[in-house]
Homo-oligomer: A and B are copies of this chain.
């Protein structure tokens, strides 16, 4: 992600079953918080990210397909990081703090292949392998400025986007009915300003349209074909769409933010969703954002009024990085028909 020191991204991708996992490894000392703003989330370890929770560190973020099943992939990331000695040190050993969020891709490709512990471990290993050697060592915060800007592993390459990792089975514009849906995917963008860098990595599986990508105009209500209706269908078939979408975002910046300030950046990312997705934050989306701060760039102190300005700026950079990332979907999403397991009914049938 961007050029953030000590941050590395790894993927496990199943291009045939159309699902995958993306792991973002954070450097030692990173803080984070999170916000859910969709109606059907699948998350893990979000409570420890609350500003009121004691633990301030976050070791990694996991994005996955597989709906609620995909949260099992976090198991493999936790064990891989523990083996690498990364995590919260206790008398009983190292405990990695890893937060996860999953999106629904079970109706694309195969519904039987779901990322689990082994797949999470593969993505975590790919991410660790992408770190400079010094950074991969337990507890060593001395990561060079050349920290990896995205990583490979199974199915991944540095800075891979599109149909990779958690974005492999993603689709968007489903509120128009599946006949009109187009591919989603993994997107990223970075904003550098005022001495800070803010990167967004987003797995886009929205119920709504994404700016610049796919169909445009008001689908609802007349354009939604009966039987393939989205949540706006007057025939009430919304239940079939419940929880089958979701846009997952990770914001990483290099400032030394508190958890509370990270929460503000997560809120900013959701403003980016609101700007680039139509309609945004639906009841059938599980939209969630984790915002992390690596701490390599110091802000003004807590009592310094400049800190208000700096956090304001960083929040606005999170809005822009997220909206900018979403705007790249048209360039990176795979073309061609979506391999629905059950083909959509003909419009009007």
Q: Report which A residues bind B (CB closer than 8 A).
A: 37, 39, 193-194, 220-221, 231-239, 242, 264, 267-268, 270-272, 274-275, 279-284, 300, 304-306, 308-309, 311-313, 315-316, 319
Q: Are B305 and A238 in contact (CB under 8 A)?
A: yes
A274: min CB distance to chain B, Å: 4
Q: Are B312 and A238 in contact (CB under 8 A)?
A: yes
Candidate in A237, A309, A316 with the most chain B CB atoms within 10 angstroms: A309
Q: Are B281 and A232 in contact (CB under 8 A)?
A: no
A308: min CB distance to chain B, Å: 4
| Residue from B194, B270, B280, B319 within 8 A of A279 (CB atoms) | B319
Q: Are B267 and A37 in contact (CB under 8 A)?
A: yes
| 22 cross-chain CB contacts under 8 A | A193-B221, A231-B313, A232-B312, A232-B316, A233-B309, A236-B305, A237-B305, A238-B305, A238-B306, A238-B309, A268-B281, A271-B274, A271-B280, A272-B274, A274-B319, A275-B275, A279-B315, A279-B316, A282-B316, A283-B308, A283-B311, A284-B312
Q: Are B238 and A308 in contact (CB under 8 A)?
A: yes
Count identical subunits in the complex: 2
In the assembled complex, the Cα of A79 lies from the Cα of B279 at a distance in Å of 41
Q: Are A231 and B312 also in contact (CB < 8 A) when A236-B304, A280-B319 are?
A: yes
Q: Are B239 and A305 in contact (CB under 8 A)?
A: yes
In the assembled complex, the Cα of A157 lies from the Cα of B284 at a distance in Å of 41
Q: Which B residues are in CB contact (< 8 Å) with A267?
A: 37, 281
In the assembled complex, the Cα of A145 lies from the Cα of B278 at a distance in Å of 32
Q: Are B319 and A236 in contact (CB under 8 A)?
A: no
| Residue from B233, B236, B281 within 8 A of A271 (CB atoms) | B281
Q: Which B residues are in CB contact (< 8 Å) with A312?
A: 231-232, 238, 279, 282-284
Q: Are A231 and B283 in contact (CB under 8 A)?
A: no
A259: min CB distance to chain B, Å: 16
Q: Which B residues are in CB contact (< 8 Å) with A283?
A: 264, 308, 311-312, 315
Candidate in A242, A267, A304, A308 with the most chain B CB atoms within 10 angstroms: A308
Candidate in A237, A281, A312, A315 with the most chain B CB atoms within 10 angstroms: A312
